[in-house]
Structure formats: structure tokens, C-alpha cells
Structure 1
């Protein structure tokens, strides 16, 4: 079964999905966050459409490993997801994934406008790929 990776941000949620074997992560889309929390409905659609068995939510930690206010928001979001979708939701340390995504896009000479559109999706892919690599049984 496939896994869904989420990079939960203030304005956008980057989304990635694994292949059926759980070996690789691919960026899927970016969901704009709304005040009515309609993004939860979109995530539920993706879970259904891609036959997702687990969700991995990036947990932003401070460099010393502690969880700050942004991390607490992600923990609450993960709890709401698990409650609403009734599938396992894992938190995964995402320190520096957005920085890595930005760097990769800069090195690929992607324009600023284009980077803004894909950085969250790429960060979600990195979060999910790191999770998959850590849990690989290959």
C-alpha cells in the first residue's frame, strides 16, 4: 500500500505519494490552506484515490531537537488527520527539508516564480523519502 507525505506549512501543504512498493516518493501537488479547513477533505480524497495506508507528516524541530510552536501545530494537525481518516499518521523529523528543496531547485536553475510553486511538493517528497529509507526492508 502507498504512503502519503505531507509538508504542512502556514499557507500551503506539500503532498507526495510513494510507489506501491514503498521505495520511492514522488511530489503530487500543493494544497492551499483555507480558513474552513477544506484541505482535510482534499487529503481524504487523495487517500481514497491513491489507496493510501499511512500518512507521514513532517515535524519541524528546532536544531537542538526540541519541538517549538510550529511543531505543536503539526502535531495537532496529525492528530486531526488520524481522527478523521482512521489510518496511521506518523510524524517525521523534517529539519532542513525545505532548505534542501530550495537548494536543489536553485542548483537546477529553476526560476524564483517556479520555485515557489514546487518547493512545498519537493519538501514533502524529501520527508516521505527519508521516512521510506529509514523503514526500508529491501
Structure 2
């Protein structure tokens, strides 16, 4: 039972994949954004190729918890995935990109490389937080 994690931005989508037991998240890829139809087709292809049961989409709420302009775009994207028959879970992703950048800086990753992998790492953090929460709230699942 695999899960796919998404960090949906305006230019790219960071993608992470869980292990078959749904315990750990690993970075999979960064997709360049195209049209909504192209983006959804890419996600559907990944779901089919990796036998994914649920897609976890990071929802970038504002600091006060409200849904701002970027979060509305992500909600529309998630709704489109659901329309295609995918099981979608929205997950609060506040600070995931900043946390990813801190990890990369601590690992002494050069700025040019950070730009290429930050979205993938943010997707890993989103998915891993979801998997950890899922395991802690229902220990019988893991």
C-alpha cells in the first residue's frame, strides 16, 4: 500500500513516494508544471506505475490557518485529482519548503542544487509527516 506525496507549486510539483508498507517517504521526482490536464496525466501515470492507494497533497495554509490564494490553487488541483477517481488527502504543509531548505543548507548542498531538489524534499516532509501521523493515530494500520 503506497502513498504519493505532492508539493504543488506554480512552476513545479515535488513528488515523494512511500515504501510498500507506508512507513517511510522517499523523494521520487520534480515535475515541471504544464497545463492542468498534463499535470493530472503525469500524476495518474505515477499512481498507476507505483500502485498508489492515496495521494497526499500539501495544503499551504497561511500562518493563521486560513486558505489564501496559493492554497485555493492547490484545492482546485486536488479536486481535479479526485475527479479522476484518486483518493486524495489534504495535509497542512506550513513551513515544509522552509524546513526542506534548512535540511539542505545543513547538509551543505550548494544553492544551485538546492533549487533543483527542494520541492522533492518538501514533498518528502509532507508525506512523512502524514505517514507518521497516520501511524500514531491508528497504530493498527502500521
Query: What's the counterpart of residue 34 of structure 1?
Result: 34
* Runs of 4+, deviation exceeding 2 Å: none
Query: What's the counterpart of residue 16 of structure 2?
Result: 16
Report the secondary structure of 1:66's partner residue: coil
The Cα shift of 1:114 comes to: 0.5
Distance in 2 of aligned mates of 1:35 and 1:62: 26
CA RMSD after TM alignment: 1.0
Higher helix content, 1 or 2:
2
Number of matched residues? 137
CA distance change for structure 1 residues 76 and 26 in 2, over 3 Å: closer, same or farther? Answer: same
Query: What's the counterpart of residue 60 of structure 2?
Result: 60
CA distance change for structure 1 residues 37 and 87 in 2, over 3 Å: closer, same or farther? Answer: closer
Distance in 2 of aligned mates of 1:36 and 1:68: 20
TM-score (norm 2): 0.93
Unaligned runs of 5+ in 1: none
Query: What's the counterpart of residue 116 of structure 2?
Result: 117
Unaligned runs of 5+ in 2: none
Distance in 1 of aligned mates of 2:36 and 2:25: 29
CA distance change for structure 1 residues 44 and 63 in 2, over 3 Å: closer, same or farther? Answer: same
TM-score (norm 1): 0.96
Report the secondary structure of 2:99's partner residue: helix
Report the secondary structure of 1:104's partner residue: helix
Query: What's the counterpart of residue 135 of structure 1?
Result: 134
Query: What's the counterpart of residue 25 of structure 1?
Result: 25
Report the secondary structure of 1:126's partner residue: helix
Distance in 1 of aligned mates of 2:117 and 2:37: 22
